[in-house]
Every structure is written in structure tokens, then in C-alpha cells.
Structure 1
């Protein structure tokens, strides 16, 4: 089917159903963009008002871990893109392989992020955990607070994406979702995952590259 959807009874044409699916996803991602956009705008404003404190705080973040995680997420997006392309051509095994690769890379991201958090906690950078760092007593404290809120929220969204990819991979492998007829399922999953990756592309520089 040219539109890569299995027509539901409430739709007259495959194109109409496909457009409705994309519109629903774009509206949802738009609300998520406003959530992260407002938060990152606040971080940027704080950097403008307190440039020295923000730079000092950013120098205590683990930029090499964040850089590795950026490469991991970008590679996972490539794997998802291959899975979407394979779904449109009905290549079930490649779809499953692409989703599993992205799933493993996403888990690697969370593992590295957890390790980074552990180091942050040990250094007293997290609010209310352990012996606080001297930085927690100055204006840099809010920078750290925003960092933990933004990255934790991103990690939650990423975890949801991992669940979606696991479900999609199993559904395709078990032929509960058939390609190319239901490739729209893989496309919607891919859109969400790409959104999570794009958010990180903005989170990375606004926090880690604030060191000056």
C-alpha cells in the first residue's frame, strides 16, 4: 500500500488516515517542544544574567560523557531511520534489527548518564543528596538544579522511547504489525525517537558548553 497504512473504517482513504496520524503526532510533539523549549530558554536567560556562575558550574559537568552520549544518540537515530526505510519496503528483519540496535544504544545512553549522575552525587552537586559542594551555596546552584531537571526529564522521555521501540520490534517480529502495510507504526515510533534525540542536541550545548 502506497501510504504504508492499513485503512481503518473511519477513514475514506489511506492518505487521509496517514495525514491524521502525522497531525496527531506533530501536535503531541509540539506540546513537548514547548515544555523543553521553555525550560531551555530559562537556562539561557540564567546564563546571560549569571555568566561566571554558569561557566563555573558547567566546568564541573562531565563533558566527555555527554559527548559520547551525543554520538550514541545520533547513531541510534540513524538506526531508526534505516528501520523506517526498511518498513516501507517490507523488510521485516531489517526493521527489527534497526530497532534493536537503537534500543541497545538508548540503553547505553542511560547507563552512561547514570554513571555521570553517580559522580555528580559524589561531588555534592545534586540538591539534597550527600555533602553539598561549595557551589551549592552560590548562584551556580540554580544552574545545577536546572541541569538535573532537564536531563532527568529527557531521560524519562528516552525511557518511554525505549519502551515504544521494544514493543514495535516485538510486534513486527511476531507479525502483529505487518510491513509495509502498517509501516506507519514504525514511522510514528521513529518520529518520537528523533524528537528525543533533537532535545538532547539542544540540552548538550546549553549546559555542557556553557563553560566558556
Structure 2
């Protein structure tokens, strides 16, 4: 008679870290490494911007005259406000105020959606004026060598950022729902801190994009 192999005991995920503090440290380290790769991605885009700005300084200087500066500035305040809400949400969950934290995360997600909607309006205006990337560029009011290159960089840099905002909105929405359902509390809220770190990076990247593309 053959004996069935004994089932292995279920080991909690935190056990191989030794304790909860070690698990949290590992989670934060992993997020920092991930954020570093994101920084490298945007650093490459910023390097391309700097290189082509050196090649066409006058073009990049006058390009802002054809940008939606008002919409870009409004979006800056929107994203900064959303980061403030995320920071307040983290402080709330640490203080045991789960309902407040959930509401603040939901508010930050709504501001992220607002950012995307405003960005969509701006994209529509550029498409109407034919300020499109690459060979599709046909903005007659700014038909100078290098203009299409500027708008190509604009679409790529803001487009990649918009994708990150979309992901962040999804993360904040999930965290808000999970907080409301009681998954996180003052003793355990590491995912909220990690999500907040990602959202703050998205905000910081925009604080570089805004002056470079709209003001400089």
C-alpha cells in the first residue's frame, strides 16, 4: 500500500524575511529599485530633449508660443494637489483613520482622471491644429526646421507620462477600495506607502515636463 506524501505546512510569506519589519524593508527596497528603472526611462527622454534643444535652440524657445500653457499649468496644480491627498492618506492610515484614508485616495484618483481629461483636451487642440508628431506635422503657423521634432518629443514624453498616470489612477483606486474594505490599518499599510511612492514619482516627472515643454 502506497502512502500519499505528507503535505508541506503552509508558510506565511513574511517568514522567510524573519519578521514583519524585514518584510516591509524588502518591499520598500523593491519599490525603490523599480522607481530607479522608471527614472532611467525618463532620463533618456530628457537627454534626447536636451540634445535636440541644443541643435535647435530658437525653435524650442519659440515653441512654447504654440503650447496650451494654461492647460499645462492647471494640470500641474491638479497633480500636485493629488500628491498632497496621497500624503494625507498615508498619514491618516497611520493614525488609524481608514475611512479618511480611503476617501483621500479616491480623491487623488479623481484628480488623476481630471489630469488625463485635461490632457485629452490639449491633445485634441494639437490634433486640430495638425501639431502632430513626425511626418504628420502640418502646423503652418510654426513651419520651421525642427518644429516637428519638438512636437514629436512633446507627444512621446507626455504620452509616456500619461500612461504612468493611468496606471497610477488604477493603483490608487484599488488601494482606496481595499482600504475601505478593511484590508489595511495602522499596523499594516505597506501597499499604500508603495503606491504613494509611485504616485509621487509621477508627480515629480511632470514637474520637470511642465517647465521644459511649456515655460522654458
TM-score computed with the length of structure 2 as normaliser? 0.89
Shift of residue 127, structure 1, vs aligned partner: 2.8
Q: Indicate which of 13, 17, 20 corresponds to 1:14.
A: 20
Q: Indicate which of 108, 127, 148 corresponds to 1:121.
A: 127
Distance across 2 between alignment mates of 1:131 and 1:16:
53
Shift of residue 13, structure 1, vs aligned partner: 1.7
Note if 1:170 corresponds to 2:177: yes
Query: Any residues of structure 2 matched to 1:127-206 within 5 Å, and which?
Result: 127=133, 132-134=138-140, 135=142, 138-175=145-182, 177-206=183-212
- Is contact 2:134–2:149 with CA below 8 Å preserved after alignment? no
Structure number with the bigger relative contact order (C-alpha 8 A, sep ≥ 6) is 1
Q: Indicate which of 93, 100, 106 corresponds to 1:100.
A: 106
Distance 1:64 1:83, change over 3 A: same
Unaligned runs of 5+ in 1: 1-5
Shift of residue 137, structure 1, vs aligned partner: 5.9
Q: Indicate which of 60, 67, 70 corresponds to 1:61.
A: 67
* Aligned alpha-carbon RMSD (Å): 1.8
Q: Secondary structure at the match of 1:205?
A: helix
Q: Indicate which of 88, 92, 101 corresponds to 2:94.
A: 88
Larger Rg belongs to:
2
Alpha-carbon deviations, 1:149-201, whole Å to 9, x = none? 000100000000000011111111112x2212321111011000000000000
Unaligned runs of 5+ in 2: 1-11
- Is contact 2:134–2:152 with CA below 8 Å preserved after alignment? no
Shift of residue 130, structure 1, vs aligned partner: 7.2
Q: How many correspondences in the alignment?
A: 204
Aligned residue in 2 for 1:3:
none
Distance 1:55 1:25, change over 3 A: same
TM-score computed with the length of structure 1 as normaliser? 0.91
Q: Secondary structure at the match of 2:14?
A: coil
Distance across 2 between alignment mates of 1:110 and 1:14:
37
Larger deviation: 151-160 or 127-136? 127-136
